[in-house]
Amino acid sequence: LFMSSGLEAAGSDTDILLMTGILGESVTFPLNIEEPEQVINIAWNSETSVAFVTPGDPGTAPKVTVTHQNYNDRINVSRQNYNLEISELRMEDSGIYKADINMKTLETTVTTTRRYNLQVYRRLGKPKITQSLMTSVNSTCNVTLTCSVEKEEKNVTYRWSPLGEEGNVIRIFQTPDNQELTYTCTAWNPVSNSSDSISALQLC
Amino acid sequence: LFMSSGLEAAGSDTDILLMTGILGESVTFPLNIEEPEQVINIAWNSETSVAFVTPGDPGTAPKVTVTHQNYNDRINVSRQNYNLEISELRMEDSGIYKADINMKTLETTVTTTRRYNLQVYRRLGKPKITQSLMTSVNSTCNVTLTCSVEKEEKNVTYRWSPLGEEGNVIRIFQTPDNQELTYTCTAWNPVSNSSDSISALQLC
């Protein structure tokens, strides 16, 4: 039954496709429709409704109606496969999206549902390393380095090289032997990474 | 802003209207649109999408597209006020329904959302009283009466008259003095009630 509805065999009707988007940029939800000529209409919904799509006349673009003001002027539908694109992504676009795809069969219409979990992230700005809590004993100095991005974001990971440590705070025991070192902090989130470095010479 | 969108001032945008439906019958969701001529389209959704409605040409009925097979041949939209009717109600139609109403304003379209919580109940069949656990001491007999409807339903209340007790099981101490009595059990749910009676003469 599933294959005969003209949709790709891979993936069950209840699977959720995980998707990441970048604030201000675009994301495209893939529908994987194998027989676009059987499509009667597609209803897109999230927390609110999103759009209602019907095929255009042969050779013309699909007809797209935005059904909630949150998506005014931000929706595009591809001519060939009806994939939905949301542009100028906002943080609050994050959430579950569903497409109810209605297709022709011999007697009636059959609905297949596609589900997506979209998470929108900011492109991380350059992190900044700050140092504090210096104490010097026997020409060894004890420094705490803190790495931070401008706004506190969800899902940010910090890694330090060459130490290989995770977390945004590290403690360093700096001896005269390792003055050549450079400490680099890289902040990662699912859509970007960015680094800042500090030379051991700048410490203590 | 709210009043200027052409929708009734009563009720905020996040209110949920509680509605009950009867299995196999119809329910109509009231939209309370004050200026139907400003409507651009209405997207109805529940767990799945439900329908997409656009005004027809002046003097004609609105154009209704069912967007999920669950609602095939069960949707009607009233010509004047766009209220949505679902017929042949099923138990699984219970749930939250939302209408995103898009209306014209000077520059853009504004979306107002109406929310409904529909609960579908079966019309209760006639309950049946059964008796058990009879013991007779000194011409007083001790009977337990159990009142039950055919299928166990949600939200069923049982009341006994003339005793005024609730619950589907009662215990009676029957003496020769009250042989004239009739015990009636009434089963209630939010959409119906139905009764069965037993005469005291039939007990013991």
pLDDT tens digits, one per residue of A136-194: 777 778 889 999 988 767 789 999 988 888 888 988 887 777 777 889 999 999 999 99
Q: Delimit the domains of chain A by residue range.
A: 3-121, 128-202
- CA dist A140 and A129 (Å) reads 20
Which residue has 């004993």 as its token pair? A137
Q: Do domains B3-121 and B128-199 have the same CATH topology?
A: yes
Kindly report, residue by residue over B179-201, the tens digit of the pLDDT. Answer: 778 899 999 999 999 999 998 87
CB contact under 8 A, B67 and A108: no
Distance separating alpha carbons of residues B187 and A36, to the nearest angstrom: 53
Say which range, A51-65, A70-84, A148-162, B118-132, has the weakest mean pLDDT: A148-162
Q: Do B41 and A65 touch (CB under 8 A)?
A: yes
Please provide residue A71's backbone torsions phi and psi, each rounded to the nearest 5 degrees. -110, 10
**B97-122 confidence digits (pLDDT tens):** 999 999 998 888 899 999 999 999 99
Alpha-carbon gap, residue B70 to B122, rounded angstroms: 19
Chain A residue at shortest CA distance from B109 = A69
Inter-chain touch B102–A67, beta carbons under 8 Å = yes
Mean of pLDDT values over A40-64 = 94
pLDDT at position B34: 85
Closest residue in A to B39 (Cα) is A67
Nearest by CB: A109 against B49, B69, B111: B69
The Cα A86–Cα B97 span in angstroms is 25
Q: A3-121, superfamily in CATH?
A: Immunoglobulins (2.60.40.10)
User: In CATH, which of 3.40.50.1100, 3.60.15.10, 2.60.40.10, 2.60.40.1170 is domain B128-199?
Assistant: 2.60.40.10
CATH number corresponding to A128-202: 2.60.40.10
- CA-based nearest distance B51→chain A, Å: 9
Best of B42, B46, B69, B115 to substitute, by most chain A Cβ atoms within 10 angstroms, is B69
The pLDDT value given to residue A13: 57
Contact assessment for residue A23 and residue A123, using Cβ atoms and an 8 Å cutoff: yes
Q: Could you tell me if B103 and B5 are in contact, meaning their C-beta atoms sit under 8 angstroms apart?
A: yes
Q: Is B12 exposed, middle or buried (0-12, 13-18, 19+ CB in 10 A)?
A: exposed
Residue range B154-183: mean pLDDT, rounded? 85
d(CA A47, CA A96): 7
Provide the pLDDT for residue B152.
66
